[in-house]
């Protein structure tokens, strides 16, 4: 089975150990969120184009970012950059609720249709500028940004619960960005860099 091989050869091999993350990666049907002409490579070890100049992330990066969020069934997570909906689906297998925002209306609509057809009822969709967060649903137990920011949107930091973290690629349009974890400690924020990544840029008012 493609997903079993994907998990053992791309994800476990690179050190992901969280059992809930591994189970979610084994379960989510990535092929249903990939364009028809890319079906043969739906489980390949790289990102894939999804139209509008955007991408579905590499499976390992999705697993790595999910593990950094330390997800569990009590948590409510905000995702910025719905894209194909794959990261949202992986999170929705583990956490209580996923709130996902996409700035390109056609992608937002396609992800919503696909994820609802796949049976997800705990993913909440919004079309708009995710850099502003989702204040009506804040605070969140974790926030994940799946596009590269030049600056960390302050609105997102302020929508974190105490002790919660924001996982975000930092580096804007640089070729390699640093996947960073920002942890809220009262009114202070601690930033830790992890691995180098390559994401499409975060757009919107917070990046101007
Ligand atoms: N998480 C996605 C997935 O699983 O397929 C991959 C996301 S793709 C690498 C980045 C997405 O972020 C694109 O769909 C892009 O349109 C979106 N994006 C960029 N800036 C945004 C913003 N300010 N608010 C919301 N979405 C944004």
Does the beta carbon of 203 lie inside 6 Å of ligand 1? yes
- Out of 57, 74, 84, 180, the active site residue is 57
- How far is the centre of ligand 1, averaged over its atoms, from the C-alpha of 104 (Å)? 8
**Closest residue to atom 7 of ligand 1, CA basis:** 83
- How far is the centre of ligand 1, averaged over its atoms, from the C-alpha of 61 (Å)? 14
Does the beta carbon of 130 lie inside 6 Å of ligand 1? yes
Does the beta carbon of 107 lie inside 6 Å of ligand 1? yes
Cα 122 to Cα 23: distance, rounded to the nearest angstrom: 18
In this prediction, the residues of the chain whose per-residue pLDDT falls under 50 are: none
* Ligand 1 atom index nearest CA of 79: 1
Q: Is 57 a catalytic residue?
A: yes
Using alpha carbons, list the distances in angstroms from residue 113 to 56, 96, 108, 121, 122.
16, 20, 9, 12, 14
3-207 — its CATH code? 3.40.50.150
- Tokens 């089975």 correspond to 1
* Ligand 1 atom index nearest CA of 203: 20
pLDDT confidence of residue 1 = 62
Distance of CA 3 to the CA centre of its chain: 19
Cα 64 to Cα 76: distance, rounded to the nearest angstrom: 18
Cα 63 to Cα 3: distance, rounded to the nearest angstrom: 13
pLDDT confidence of residue 174 = 83
Does the beta carbon of 129 lie inside 6 Å of ligand 1? yes
Q: With contact defined as beta carbons under 8 Å apart, do 14 and 67 qualify?
A: no
Does the beta carbon of 199 lie inside 6 Å of ligand 1? yes
pTM for this predicted structure: 0.98
- How far is the centre of ligand 1, averaged over its atoms, from the C-alpha of 84 (Å)? 9
Q: With contact defined as beta carbons under 8 Å apart, do 118 and 32 qualify?
A: yes
- How far is the centre of ligand 1, averaged over its atoms, from the C-alpha of 182 (Å)? 19
* Sign of the alpha-carbon torsion through 191, 196, 199, 201: positive
pLDDT confidence of residue 173 = 81
Cα 203 to Cα 8: distance, rounded to the nearest angstrom: 34
């Amino acid at each position: 089975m493609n997903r079993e091989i994907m998990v053992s050869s791309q994800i476990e091999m690179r050190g992901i150990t969280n059992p809930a993350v591994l189970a979610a990666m084994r379960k989510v049907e990535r092929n249903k969120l990939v364009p028809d002409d890319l079906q043969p490579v739906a489980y390949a070890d790289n990102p894939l184009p999804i139209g509008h100049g955007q991408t579905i992330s590499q499976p390992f990066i999705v697993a790595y970012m999910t593990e950094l969020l330390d997800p569990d069934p009590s948590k409510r997570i905000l995702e910025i950059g719905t894209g194909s909906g794959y990261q949202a689906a992986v999170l929705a297998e583990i956490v209580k609720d996923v709130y996902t925002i996409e700035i390109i209306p056609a992608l937002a609509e396609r992800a919503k249709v696909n994820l609802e057809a796949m049976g997800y009822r705990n993913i909440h969709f919004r079309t708009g500028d995710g850099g502003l967060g989702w204040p009506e649903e804040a605070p969140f137990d974790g926030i994940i940004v799946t596009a590269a920011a030049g600056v960390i949107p302050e609105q997102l930091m302020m929508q974190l619960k105490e002790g919660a973290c924001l996982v975000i690629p930092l580096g804007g349009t640089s070729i390699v960005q640093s996947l960073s974890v920002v942890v809220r400690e009262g009114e202070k924020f601690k930033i830790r860099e992890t691995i180098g990544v390559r994401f499409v840029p975060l757009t919107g008012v917070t990046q101007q």
